A and B are shown apart, each in its own frame.
Chain A
Amino acid sequence: MIRGADQTAAASHLDLMIEMTGDFAQSQDVEATLRLGLARVAERLGAEAASLFLLEADSGDLVCHASIGPTEVIGLRLAPGRGIVWRTVDLDSPQLVKDARFDPDFANSVDNATGFVTRSILCAPMSFRGQKLGAIELFNKAGGGAFTQADAQLLRALAMSSALALINTRLAAGMAEQEGFRRELALASEIQRAMLPPPQPPGYPVHGLNLPARGVSGDFYEIVPLADGRIAFAIGDVSGKGINASLLMTKTASLFRCLAKREDGPGRVLAAIDSELQETGLAGMFVTMVAGILDPATGRVVLANAGHEPPLVRGQDGYRPIEDGMPPLGIDPELFAHGCLESVIELDGGALYLFTDGLTEVRTRSGAMLGADGAKGLLDAFAAMPAEERLQAVVGALDGVGSLRDDVTLMVVEDMRPGGRSAFVRRYDARPETLSDIRSDLSRTARELGCDADLVGDVVLAVDEACQNVIRHAYKGGEGDIVLHVEREDDLLVIRLMDFAPPVEVANIKPRSLDEIRPGGLGTHLMRSIMDQVDFLPPPAGIGNLLQMVKRIRP
């Protein structure tokens, strides 16, 4: 940059350059550092006064940021035009004016206003590799002489060094801002994760797992227990990545949590979410999502799919994809205006798997995607594990399989009923008026399963009594549902009654003493007299009561 004899001059002032660069590196306050630097330069070059101007990005003006000497001109604004400072910046080279009176660009307005008499001027651009930042201007060489070419070269070097330091400082500030942004992002990601459902207890029929690839996620899953004992669930993926996608994901998940409790059925929930999302401009983003409701008492799932990967049902004969579906949410309000397709799936002792494309699009070591078949293989490999551990094992195995590029979210919905399959399952309102339906359904089923007329009559009585207990003692006359299962296991008729009332104290249920003739307390006695076994079992949904009654069918 600096050659020949001037190099010696510059080198002799190397200490100053090092000091100034050090000032910039250590300082948090750029303005203070600029003032200090200007004072050092003015002293070293013997100037009576000095000003430092920086280009202001918004206005394009040169603005005075530091000033040394008898006149205070900080804040002085120079619009683009003539003047020594602008000439310096425009030409990007030092301007040495030995006698200001003879320079046509010299503006004497400051002199006139302050009484300062400008004799000579030395002005050097603060620029680096064509990036113009401003200029440093020195006035009046002390001792009466003019600034020299050597002074000009030195100032040029110092100004360039200041420019570089300033660029670095600005970069550092930008990085600090970015670092702050990264911290905010990490916080957002943490909050987002905290909004996912907590782990469910072992034995609960619905479990989910989310493994974010990095930062905030566009995936979500939800598990919402409903008041009637059914469980609403959803899995979704917002198109795109980053903050926008994650905000939309948060909104969609919140809408689901709220609407799942109000709307009747997953199709209506999806249609309602679509309608809400349409009201917010999505700017080309959309949501793929599956919503469902499991009735843990019957093993029946109602499912609605808006553009998401088809869920897989794992039954006795392998996997079956549920292909029915609608387009994604947030595309066009017309698409869901006339409702949303629902599918009904009997889990029949099996399981339903839902996942985002992060699972199927994991790259295996060979470079191919894992795909649905690969996913099935992984699920089967860990099939013997309880649901939650199974999901963790599958996601854990993905790390071994290949690289995780996208978030992975995986859910399982299982039929946790004891026995799994039933010859007959139906849900009834727990009211005295429905007892005759229960009796006629049970009579028909028991006959079909090979019970003779007397046995049918007895069993119907026992079940009717059990239902009465649910209506009168479990729900205490309030609203609720009863689910009836009937099945035959070898020569045993197995009947299960499920309710969703607060758990009953089993110890308080005793058959009455028959020596005492009085109304009431008779039902439990009838049940125990008729059935071979009457037991309360732990209910599958974790709430309510499950009563199992078993009767040997006479050959």
Chain B
Amino acid sequence: MNMTLSQQDGATVVTLAGEVDLSHSPTLRKALMELMFEKKPVVVVDLSAVEYIDSSGVAGLVEAYQSARKNATRFVLAAVSDPVRRVLQLARLDKVFAMADTVESALKG
């Protein structure tokens, strides 16, 4: 898994790539929870280059989603790749997260 954080138009964009499995999901969870702790107004997770995600990676996204709701942070999953979409479908979470087709559309809100 590769993870980069960047600021775009007042939003924090977390770009993930590669495989988000049990060996990497703690890193993802820690990064997302720090952003939530800092009460960032907008957090966009770019999932376009994620080839694989498992339940532990999804759990990190769910935990961030729950914090964001409390903090009134806008938390968006952008450009969700097919493998991620499939897992979210199986977990019946595809209707729970706010999702955008691209990072740009996510930033526009």
Interface residues of A (CB under 8 A from B): 431-433, 435-436, 439, 454, 457-458, 460-461, 464-465, 468, 471-472, 514, 517-520, 522-523, 525-526, 529-530
Interface residues of B (CB under 8 A from A): 19, 21-23, 52, 54-56, 58-60, 62-63, 65-66, 83, 86-87, 90-93, 96
* Interface contact A457-B66, CB-CB below 8 Å: no
Query: Which residue on B lies nearest to A439, using beta carbons?
Result: B52
* Interface contact B56-A468, CB-CB below 8 Å: yes
User: Given the complex of chains A and B, what is the CA–CA distance between A514 and B95 in angstroms?
Assistant: 12
* Interface contact A471-B22, CB-CB below 8 Å: yes
A394, chain B: closest CB distance, angstroms: 49
- Told that A432-B23, A464-B54 touch, could you supply 15 new A-B pairs with CB distance under 8 A? A435-B54, A439-B52, A458-B86, A460-B52, A461-B52, A461-B87, A465-B54, A468-B55, A517-B93, A518-B66, A519-B66, A520-B59, A522-B58, A522-B91, A523-B55
Residues in A with CB closer than 8 Å to B23 are 431-433, 435-436
B1, chain A: closest CB distance, angstroms: 10
User: Given the complex of chains A and B, what is the CA–CA distance between A435 and B52 in angstroms?
Assistant: 12
User: Given the complex of chains A and B, what is the CA–CA distance between A223 and B87 in angstroms?
Assistant: 46
Please pick, from B56, B83, B90, the residue contacting A530 in the complex, using a CB distance under 8 A.
B90
User: Given the complex of chains A and B, what is the CA–CA distance between A124 and B91 in angstroms?
Assistant: 114
* Interface contact A435-B87, CB-CB below 8 Å: no
* Interface contact B22-A468, CB-CB below 8 Å: yes
* Interface contact B62-A518, CB-CB below 8 Å: yes
Please pick, from A436, A461, A519, A529, the residue contacting B59 in the complex, using a CB distance under 8 A.
A519
**A436-B58 in contact given A457-B86, A519-B63, A529-B90 (Cβ < 8 Å):** no
* Interface contact A457-B96, CB-CB below 8 Å: no
Residues in A with CB closer than 8 Å to B93 are 517
Query: Which residue on A lies nearest to B86, using beta carbons?
Result: A457
* Interface contact A514-B92, CB-CB below 8 Å: yes
What are 13 of the A-B contact pairs (CB < 8 Å)?
A457-B83, A460-B52, A461-B54, A464-B22, A465-B55, A468-B55, A468-B56, A471-B22, A472-B22, A518-B62, A519-B66, A525-B90, A526-B91
A166, chain B: closest CB distance, angstroms: 89
User: Given the complex of chains A and B, what is the CA–CA distance between A522 and B90 in angstroms?
Assistant: 10
Residues in B with CB closer than 8 Å to A433 are 23
User: Given the complex of chains A and B, what is the CA–CA distance between A460 and B77 in angstroms?
Assistant: 23
**Which of A454, A520, A522, A523 gathers most chain B CB within 10 Å?**
A522
User: Given the complex of chains A and B, what is the CA–CA distance between A39 and B13 in angstroms?
Assistant: 122
Residues in B with CB closer than 8 Å to A522 are 55, 58-59, 91
Please pick, from A435, A460, A530, the residue contacting B22 in the complex, using a CB distance under 8 A.
A435
**Which of A433, A471, A517, A529 gathers most chain B CB within 10 Å?**
A517
Residues in A with CB closer than 8 Å to B56 are 468, 523
Residues in B with CB closer than 8 Å to A472 are 22
Residues in A with CB closer than 8 Å to B52 are 439, 460-461
Query: Which residue on A lies nearest to B24, using beta carbons?
Result: A432
Query: Which residue on A lies nearest to B96, using beta carbons?
Result: A517
A494, chain B: closest CB distance, angstroms: 21
Please pick, from B21, B55, B66, B83, the residue contacting A432 in the complex, using a CB distance under 8 A.
B21
* Interface contact B90-A436, CB-CB below 8 Å: no
User: Given the complex of chains A and B, what is the CA–CA distance between A471 and B56 in angstroms?
Assistant: 13
Residues in B with CB closer than 8 Å to A525 are 90-91
A376, chain B: closest CB distance, angstroms: 49
A142, chain B: closest CB distance, angstroms: 113
Residues in B with CB closer than 8 Å to A436 are 19, 21, 23
Residues in A with CB closer than 8 Å to B60 are 519
* Interface contact A517-B55, CB-CB below 8 Å: no
Residues in A with CB closer than 8 Å to B96 are 517
Please pick, from A435, A454, A514, A517, the residue contacting B21 in the complex, using a CB distance under 8 A.
A435
**A468-B54 in contact given A461-B87, A514-B92 (Cβ < 8 Å):** yes
Residues in B with CB closer than 8 Å to A520 are 59
A478, chain B: closest CB distance, angstroms: 15
* Interface contact A526-B55, CB-CB below 8 Å: yes
Query: Which residue on A lies nearest to B22, using beta carbons?
Result: A432
**Which of B52, B60, B66, B86 gathers most chain A CB within 10 Å?**
B52
User: Given the complex of chains A and B, what is the CA–CA distance between A247 and B63 in angstroms?
Assistant: 66
Query: Which residue on A lies nearest to B56, using beta carbons?
Result: A468
User: Given the complex of chains A and B, what is the CA–CA distance between A517 and B22 in angstroms?
Assistant: 20
Query: Which residue on A lies nearest to B18, using beta carbons?
Result: A436
Query: Which residue on B lies nearest to A433, using beta carbons?
Result: B23
**Which of A517, A519, A526 gathers most chain B CB within 10 Å?**
A519
Query: Which residue on A lies nearest to B53, using beta carbons?
Result: A461
Query: Which residue on A lies nearest to B82, using beta carbons?
Result: A457
User: Given the complex of chains A and B, what is the CA–CA distance between A460 and B53 in angstroms?
Assistant: 11
A293, chain B: closest CB distance, angstroms: 30
Query: Which residue on A lies nearest to B64, using beta carbons?
Result: A519
**Which of B55, B60, B66, B93 gathers most chain A CB within 10 Å?**
B55
B66, chain A: closest CB distance, angstroms: 7
A306, chain B: closest CB distance, angstroms: 43
* Interface contact B19-A519, CB-CB below 8 Å: no
* Interface contact B66-A517, CB-CB below 8 Å: yes
Residues in B with CB closer than 8 Å to A460 are 52
Residues in A with CB closer than 8 Å to B54 are 435, 461, 464-465, 468, 523
Residues in B with CB closer than 8 Å to A517 are 62, 65-66, 93, 96
User: Given the complex of chains A and B, what is the CA–CA distance between A454 and B52 in angstroms?
Assistant: 13
A53, chain B: closest CB distance, angstroms: 95
Residues in A with CB closer than 8 Å to B90 are 458, 461, 525-526, 529-530
User: Given the complex of chains A and B, what is the CA–CA distance between A520 and B92 in angstroms?
Assistant: 14
- 3 closest Cβ contacts across the A-B interface? A519-B59, A432-B23, A522-B55
B101, chain A: closest CB distance, angstroms: 21
Residues in A with CB closer than 8 Å to B66 are 517-519
**A519-B62 in contact given A457-B83, A464-B54 (Cβ < 8 Å):** yes
